[in-house]
């Protein structure tokens, strides 16, 4: 089993290490463009058994730390909008 410090960053620098969480597209599929930005159409963050959040349209996910800004817990979703 890998520890959090052993996990290699994905190409876009997005951080998501919480157990049961995933993104659509997958982290590995997020590739920065020639300007170094990673724009994702209809970006989704989800947690197995809890639900998901869709960000419609284009979202710049470059260097985004999802562990620091959002959390799915029983019956609620908490998002820090101060990023």
* pLDDT at residue number 51: 86
* pLDDT at residue number 80: 67
CATH of the domain at 49: 3.30.1610.10
Q: Which residue range(s) make up the domain with 22?
A: 4-79
Q: What H or E segment, with its residue span, contains residue 68? A: helix 66-69
* pLDDT at residue number 12: 94
**In tens digits, what is the pLDDT along the chain, a chain of 83 residues?**
444 444 556 899 999 999 999 999 999 999 999 999 999 999 999 989 888 889 999 999 999 999 988 877 776 666 666 55
Angle at 12 between CA 41 and CA 69, to 5 degrees: 75
Partners of 79 in the β-ladder: 70
Number of folded domains that form the chain: 1
């Amino acid at each position: 089993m890998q520890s959090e410090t052993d996990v290699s960053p994905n190409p876009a620098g997005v951080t998501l290490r919480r157990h049961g969480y995933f993104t659509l597209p997958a982290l590995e599929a997020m590739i920065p463009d020639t300007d170094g930005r990673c724009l994702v159409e209809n970006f989704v963050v989800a947690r197995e058994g809890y639900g998901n959040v869709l960000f419609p349209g284009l979202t710049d996910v470059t260097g985004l730390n999802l562990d620091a800004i959002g959390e799915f817990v029983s019956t609620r979703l908490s998002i820090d909008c101060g990023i």
